[in-house]
Amino acid sequence: MLAVIVLIGGFVQMGRAGDDDAEDLVSRVQKKYDDMTDLSVDFVQTVHFSVTQNEQTFHGKLLMKKGNKYRVDLDQETIVTDGVSLWNFNKTTNQVFIDTFHESSKSFSPQKILSNLPGNYGATDLGKEKIGETEYRVVKLLPKSSSPNVKWIKAWIDPDKLEMKRIDLLDVSENLWSYAVSDMKFNSDVPESRFRFDPPAGVEVIDLR
């Protein structure tokens, strides 16, 4: 879950230390995210594990709205919060855990990553790269923290739309997380009902509230 949130939103929390061109691009991306009311992202997640050299690929969708509301649908897992309760549905075990959503200094949410944690990364412009017919700017982010969750993040950003096409992240265990974004929509009026979860019939409900 953390990787999804960091990769979809993490590159916009950069500070003002780094390459001038990268800082200008990041400033414009930051403004677009600050002005949004909701966001919908379809993506393909690929994880390359350093120890086993295995690779896994999943399809996913992220919905988010201001007020700490988000929903992540993966192939075998769904995570939903309305900012009050948090549902975690595992399709493999056919169980859903329900807990109270806690906003703390150590918690992660798309809203916090997009808006409330400025200055965590320094940005460097790695140049331009084409994906399909579109030319993207590639930005590398290095964490300023002495004990970061990631070693680096790279984002492929459309400088005209101020949207990303691909994000790579190397975590502290040397696992490489890659996200290819197939569709991104801002302010599409995502219904409030998408941020609640009604367990299907036959699902074991474990309520921890």
88-99 pLDDT per residue, tens: 999 999 999 999
Q: Indicate whether 180 belongs to any domain.
A: yes
User: 3-state DSSP call for residue 142?
Assistant: strand
Q: Indicate whether 203 belongs to any domain.
A: no
Q: Is the pLDDT of residue 50 over 80?
A: yes
Interval 161-174 mean pLDDT: 89
Q: How many domains does the chain have?
A: 1
User: 3-state DSSP call for residue 127?
Assistant: strand
Q: What does the pLDDT read at residue 118?
A: 40
Interval 148-163 mean pLDDT: 87
Interval 129-144 mean pLDDT: 89
54-91 pLDDT per residue, tens: 999 989 999 988 888 989 998 899 999 999 999 999 99
Instruction: Output the domain CATH number for residue 138.
Output: 2.50.20.10
Q: Indicate whether 12 belongs to any domain.
A: yes
Q: What are phi and psi of 194, to 5 degrees?
A: -70, -10
Q: Indicate whether 87 belongs to any domain.
A: no
Q: What does the pLDDT read at residue 19?
A: 60
Stronger pLDDT, 63 or 109, i.e. the higher one: 63
Q: What does the pLDDT read at residue 113?
A: 45
The boundaries of the domain holding residue 65 are 2-74+102-187
Q: Indicate whether 66 belongs to any domain.
A: yes
The token duo for 56 is: 């896994």
Q: Indicate whether 201 belongs to any domain.
A: no
Q: Which of 84-98, 117-131, 181-195 has the lowest mean pLDDT?
A: 117-131
Q: Indicate whether 58 belongs to any domain.
A: yes
Please count the other Cβ atoms lying within 10 Å of the Cβ belonging to residue 84.
13
